[in-house]
Every structure is written in C-alpha cells, then in structure tokens.
Amino acid sequence: MSDLRVQKFAKILVEHSTRIEPGDRVLIEGTTAAEPLVRELYIQVLEKGGHPHPMIGFPGMVPFVQEDMYLTYASDTQLDFIPTFYKIAYDQFESRIRIHSATNTRGASSLDPVKAQRRGRAISTITEAQMRRGAEGRFKWVTTLYPTDGYAQDAGMSLKDYEDFVFRAVHTHEEDPVAYWNSTAARQQKAIDFLVGKDLVTLRGPNVDLTLSIKGRKFMNSTGINNMPDGEIFTGPVEDSVNGWVKFTYPAIYGGVAVEGAELTFNRGRVERAKAEKNQDYLIKMLESDDGSRYLGEFAIGTNSDIDRFTGNILFDEKIGGTFHMALGAGYPETGSHNKSAIHWDMICDMRTDSEIHVDGELFYKNGEFVFGK
C-alpha cells in the first residue's frame, strides 16, 4: 500500500478523530503488524505538539486487541490483574488510538470462555474509565484497524483487495478526508433531529419483531470520532423497555469466537431466551458475565454505504448501510444509558428487505433507507 494512503489515514486519526493538541499524552495501542501506521501516527502526533506513547506488542500479546496468549497461560491471579500502564493511561492521559492489527483472528476461538469472562471483568474498570472520561470530554479515543492477512482471509479477499476496501471505507481517497468526515455529520443529524423527544421504536421484518423505548435518551451522531471507519447513529435504549425477538443475520463475533444464527428473546429488557446455530454454549456463557450482560447497552442504525459487505469484523460490519445492530452489555453514558457490564457485544441484523422501523407510529425507515418526512 502507498505511503500516501497511510499518511492520510494517520491524518484522519490525529486531526479528526482525536483532535490532538499541544501537550496531549497519546497512548497508541497495536501490534507490530501495524508498524507503518504506528510510525506515521508517532510523527504526526509529534508534529501537533503531543506526546506519543506507543504500547506495541507482537500479535496475540496486546490487551483489548487480541490477548489469546495471555488467556492461554495466565493463572486466575493473573487473569484478575489490571494492566498497570494501561490503567494509568486511561485514568490520566488525554487520548488513545487503538489499532486492531491481528494476524490470526481465530487465535482465541478455542479458549475457555470462563477465562475470557474473568479477564473481561478485570479490565472492565479500564473500559469504564474510557467511557466515563470520554463522556466528560476529558479523553479523546478512537478505535481503528490496519489491514492484515488475517482480516483479509475473514473477509474472503486478497490482502490487496482488502487494503483497497479498508482505505476506501476510511476515505483516504478523498483529497481532504478530514473535510469529508466533517460533512457526514449534517446528513446524519437530520435523522437524529427527527428522533428527539420520541418514545416507542418498533422494528418489523423477516428477522425481527421488537419494540424498545428511547424516551429521554440521546442519539449520537457517529462520524469518525470514536471509530474509524464510521457511519451510524446510536443510543442506549431504556433498559427495561425491550420486548420481542430478533435473529441476527450475520455471525456475532466476540473474543474471536463466531456465534452463528444467534436468536434472542427479550422480556422487559432482559434476554429471557437465547439460542444459536453454532457456539450456543459460548453465547450463554457470555450472557452470564454479570447483571448487565443480558440487557442492551446500545441500539444503532448503520449508514455507511461504502461498507457494502460483511467482513467478519464488527468495526466495519456494524456500519453497513441498511442494517441495525444492538449491543448486549455496557452502554455509553453520554446516550443516557445506565447499563454496566464487562461485555459490549454488538450483533447485526439486515433490514434491506421487507423491513420497517416505526417511531411513535410513524414510518421512519424502510428496506434500509430513512424515509421519515416523505
């Protein structure tokens, strides 16, 4: 891949996503597979007057990115240990840039889910600090991905084709990609403005029959600040309001494990029944993580038409235009969500065929397109 694309990618992350200012301490998380982007980020953070702190490990050795080696060899005491330097950075730094750059995306698929669950509880305090300080405007964070052979294989593409897909999704082909991402806010804001003050959301389609409340909740306009690529509007539904059934049309991947054909039935906000065509035991185990893991922390609609296929990576897949997704577990406080959990597991459902979303009885979304006001 060309140096220019990497330079533009870093520019998006530094100038748009994290808005680095002089004096900002910036944690850069990733693996050695992302070396070209890490190097460019290091340079551009310095040019902005920030203080880059790279925390780079070999694939399989980086917390929050892929930690299968740790889960394989760690004792219970070590699983409960909170990583010292990450804890300091998330509590004190002004920014962090996380680069998913795994070379083996299935490294954790055969690991004991109980160990993953235990490790998730230990590092949940770090995730909570990110969400809390981010909501307070004191922590500028973004999660992104650098193309590797592992991700390309998951997507069923050659590495070159996957590189093209990734860099197009983040819009490095634009003459001014920062200006492009700024312009997406106005388009998505129209849908958010319609939802202000609304209550009951009803989703109907071949794979969903669900109601939930957004009363008093705030929809966020997601345009590349916390995720890159981006393209969604999302909120935290009222915790005890979700009722009905949904079957997710794509594999739900968490911790490197793909749960296929996941079906959830909600009653007063809580998942009462869950089944799956593959890895059902893992689904059930994750639902037992804590008191908040059976409740929704997020409801969102994907809006990025440049992400036109399922790739097996949630950072991209949840943004697919014409889909909605819901996350079990931790919610984002800035939306009004009160749900807390060690997990945040996004699951995606296609709405592009024979599907509608009504809001307070008015048609809002049909077959993958916003139609309100028409």
pLDDT single digits (tens) 100-141: 998 887 776 677 778 888 888 888 889 889 988 998 899 999
- Are 122 and 197 members of one domain? no
- CA angle, corner 231, sides to 278 and 171, nearest 5? 110
- Are 283 and 149 members of one domain? no
Mean pLDDT of 303-328: 93
β-partners of residue 244 are 210, 266
Domain that holds residue 263: 184-370
- Are 169 and 191 members of one domain? no
Residue 63: the pLDDT is 65
Domain total for the chain? 2
Query: Does a structural domain hold residue 178?
Result: no
Q: How far apart are CA 330 and CA 345, in angstroms?
A: 8
- Choosing from 129, 148, 173, the residue where a domain stops is 173
- Are 194 and 158 members of one domain? no
Report the percentage of the chain scoring pLDDT > 70. Answer: 97
Residue 118: the pLDDT is 87
Query: Does a structural domain hold residue 266?
Result: yes
Query: Does a structural domain hold residue 179?
Result: no
CATH number at residue 28: 3.40.1830.10
Residue 71: the pLDDT is 85
Mean pLDDT of 150-159: 94
- Are 152 and 199 members of one domain? no
First to last CA, the chain: 43
pLDDT at 27 over 80: yes
DSSP letters spanning 250-271: S-EEETTEEEBS-EEEEETTEE
- Are 200 and 349 members of one domain? yes
pLDDT band at residue 2, thresholds of 50, 70 and 90? low
pLDDT at 349 over 90: yes
pLDDT at 262 over 60: yes
Residue 43: the pLDDT is 97
pLDDT at 197 over 90: yes
Report the percentage of the chain scoring pLDDT > 90. Answer: 79
CA distances from 149 to 2, 69, 210, 290, 297 (A): 17, 19, 38, 35, 32
The DSSP code for 227 is B
Q: How far apart are CA 233 and CA 29, in angstroms?
A: 26
- Are 161 and 288 members of one domain? no
Are 46 and 52 in contact by the 8 Å Cβ rule? The answer is yes
Residue 108: the pLDDT is 65
- Choosing from 153, 173, 193, the residue where a domain stops is 173
Q: How far apart are CA 298 and CA 315, in angstroms?
A: 15
- Choosing from 123, 141, 173, the residue where a domain stops is 173
Mean pLDDT of the chain: 93
Query: Does a structural domain hold residue 195?
Result: yes
Query: Does a structural domain hold residue 360?
Result: yes
Residue 260: the pLDDT is 96
Are 160 and 115 in contact by the 8 Å Cβ rule? The answer is no
Query: Does a structural domain hold residue 158?
Result: yes
- Are 152 and 264 members of one domain? no
Mean pLDDT of 259-281: 97
Residue 310: the pLDDT is 93
Residue in 346, 324, 351, 347 with CA at minimum distance from that of residue 262: 347
| Nearest-10 crossing angle of helices 3-11, 35-47 | 50
Mean pLDDT of 313-329: 95
- Are 158 and 255 members of one domain? no
- Are 120 and 189 members of one domain? no
Q: How far apart are CA 350 and CA 151, in angstroms?
A: 22
pLDDT, tens digit, for every residue of 34-89? 999 999 999 999 999 999 999 998 887 776 655 678 888 889 999 999 999 999 99
Mean pLDDT of 284-292: 93
Residue 301 — φ and ψ, nearest 5°?
A: -120, 125
- Are 129 and 265 members of one domain? no
Mean pLDDT of 320-340: 94
Query: Does a structural domain hold residue 118?
Result: yes
Residue 64: the pLDDT is 64
- Are 106 and 234 members of one domain? no
Query: Does a structural domain hold residue 63?
Result: yes
